[in-house]
Amino acid sequence: MKNYFIFSSLIILILSFFSCSRVSEEELWKQSQTFIEEGKHKEAIEKLKQLIKDYPKSEKAPDAQFYIASIYNNDLHDYKNAIKEYRNLVDMFPENLNAPKALFLIGFIYNNQLNQLEKAKAAYEEFLEKYPNHELAQSAQIEIQTLGKSPEELIPPEIVAKEEKQSKKK
């Protein structure tokens, strides 16, 4: 009986130590925002990933996931990781308001940054299948129609001729 008491006391002590050392969700969020403001993108990503790991059911978890992907995309220009993290958002939080935008951005990155047109088309088609009434649906359709075309190919010749005429007059 004495051993049981010592063992259970030790377990309680260990559990209370670990629960006290855990950083709060709000603190992780604040730290990540501070790192973002300071331009410390990798440190911000670490804090955001920790928030998602420690608090996966948190209201902030989907926003943290979107931030991670956005940092890779916009700040680090690491497009492969951006795609991976946007995909994580779509898979982990499909009902989140940013999930459609994340899926659209996967197609956009494949098209405009990586020039992987088949993957871009697949992402846009998946977007249209999952979110046919989303405000970006028309943009996804246009992106599919214009995949691989240069801006010159998209502008009607009569507009190009008109603009050239006007520039010569100046």
Residue 129 tokens read as 């299948």
- Spans of all domains in the chain: 24-148
Closest CA to 90 of 106, 79, 80, 103: 103
Architecture of domain 24-148: Alpha Horseshoe (1.25)
Mean pLDDT per 10-residue section of the chain, whose length is 170 residues:
53 51 90 96 98 96 98 98 98 96 98 97 98 97 92 73 70
Residue-level pLDDT at 13 = 47
Distance of alpha carbon 107 from alpha carbon 117, whole angstroms: 9
Predicted pLDDT of residue 49? 98
Say what the pTM is.
0.78
Per-residue pLDDT, 6: 55
Q: By three-state DSSP, how is residue 96 classified?
A: coil
CB-CB neighbours of 124 under 10 Å: 27
